[in-house]
Amino acid sequence: MTQTTIAYLERRYNALEEEISNASHQSPPDDLAIADLKCRKLVIADEIIHNRRLVERFGKLTGSAH
Tell me the per-residue pLDDT of 30-47, one tens digit each, with 9 for 90 and over: 999 999 999 999 999 999
Distance in angstroms (rounded) separating the CA atoms of residues 5 and 36:
22
| Per-residue pLDDT at 66 exceeds 70 | no
Helix (H) or strand (E) holding 1: none
Distance in angstroms (rounded) separating the CA atoms of residues 52 and 5:
10
pTM of the model: 0.83
Contact 20, 6 (CB under 8 A): no
